[in-house]
Amino acid sequence: MSVTFTPLTPVFGAVVSPIDLRQVRDRDTLMQLREGMDKYAVLVFRNQPFTNEEQLDFAQRFDGQLHAKTSVAVLAKNRFGNEALTDISNVNAQGDIMAANDRLRASTVSNRLWHTDASFENPAGRYSMLSARVVPPVRADTEFADMRAAYDALDEATRQTLEGLHVFHSIVYSRHVLGFEFSEEERARLKGAVHPLVRELTSTGRRSLYLASHAQHIEEMPIPEGRLLLRDLMEHATQPQFTYRHEWLPQDLVIWDNRTTMHRARPFEDKKHRRELCRTTTLDLPFEIAA
C-alpha cells in the first residue's frame, strides 16, 4: 500500500492519506509509516474507530513493547483494566465528569505543561498514540513543538555548550511545580531517570533537544544555572515557528515521537464538557517490524 503524507507545517507534522490502521499488518506499509515518523515526527490519522484492544494491537505491531508505569497508574486503578492504556480523560471510573477537587484531575491538569511522555522512565517513551473517543463541542487542542527544528536553530556556540550534558527527569518534580504532592509510597514508585540533553536519532542522523516540564536539573551544572538554561531552551523551543496545534475530531489518532517533540494539552471547560482520549506509548527499545 502506498502512503501519502500531507505536511501540516513547514517544519513538521503531516496528515496521512486515508488508511485504516486496524487493518495495516504488512511490513511495507508499517515501514512507510515509520519513515513518515522519522521525517514529520507527528502524524495525524482521521477516522480511526479503535477499540481498546485494537489500539493495543496496532501499537505493539507498529513499535513493540508498551509503557505501563505511568503516574496515573500510581494514583488510581485503571478503568480500562490495562495500564498500557492511559486514560487521558476528564471522567472518573463511573463515567462522570471529575469534580474540581478530584485528586486525579489535579494531577492530569499538569498535562497542560510542555512534556514528553515517560521521559521520567528508563527506557523512556518512543511513540505515543492518542485516540480521540469523545471530543467536546469546544476546542480542546493538543499543541506540539519540534525539538529537532529548535536544535537546528541554535547557534553553534550554544550547541557546543549542550554537548555531554545530562538531565534528570522527574514527574514528581513537574507535578510539584503546580502544587501537586505525591505520598512517600508514590514517590518511591516514580524515581525518575537521567537522559542526554541532546539526542541523535540513528535512523536519520538528526539531533534534537530532549527536555520538558519533567526536566528537573542538569547533572553536570549547579542547580540554579542548570534550571535557567533549561528554562531558556524551553522558551526557545516553543516559539511559534516550531509548533503545531492539533484541533481534535472524533476518531482521530495522532502519533508523535517523544524523542523529538514536546506536547501539551490546551485548557477547555473540563468541568462542563466531557473529553475522552486513550493513549498508548511504546518504549524506546530495539524493535524490528516482522516480515
Instruction: Look at residue 119 and tell me if it is in a domain.
Output: yes
Partners of 283 in beta bridges: 125
The pLDDT of residue 107: 84
Convert the pLDDT of each residue in 88-117 to its tens digit.
999 988 889 999 888 888 888 899 999 999
Q: What is the DSSP string of 17-81?
A: PS--GGG---HHHHHHHHHHHHHHSEEEE------HHHHHHHHHHHH-PBP---HHHHHS--TTS
CATH assignment at residue 171: 3.60.130.10
pLDDT tens digits along 62-89: 999 999 877 676 777 888 889 999 999 9
Which residues in the chain show pLDDT less than 70?
A: 71, 73
Q: pLDDT value at position 104?
A: 86
**Residue 206: what pLDDT?**
97
Residues 241, 11 contacting (CB under 8 angstroms): yes
Domain assignment present for residue 291? The answer is: no
pLDDT attached to residue 85: 94
Q: How far apart are the first and last CA of the chain?
A: 15
For residue 190, the enclosing domain spans 5-283
User: Would 53 be classed as within a structural domain?
Assistant: yes
Q: Flag whether 221 is in a domain.
A: yes
- Judge whether 290 lies within some domain: no
pLDDT of residue 270: 95
Residue 44: its pLDDT value, please? 98
**Would you tell me how many other CB atoms lie within 10 Å of the CB of residue 63?**
24
pLDDT, residue 279, reads 97
What's the structural domain count of the chain? 1
The pLDDT of residue 93 is 85
Task: Please give the single-letter amino acid code of residue 157.
Answer: A
**288 belongs to a structural domain:** no
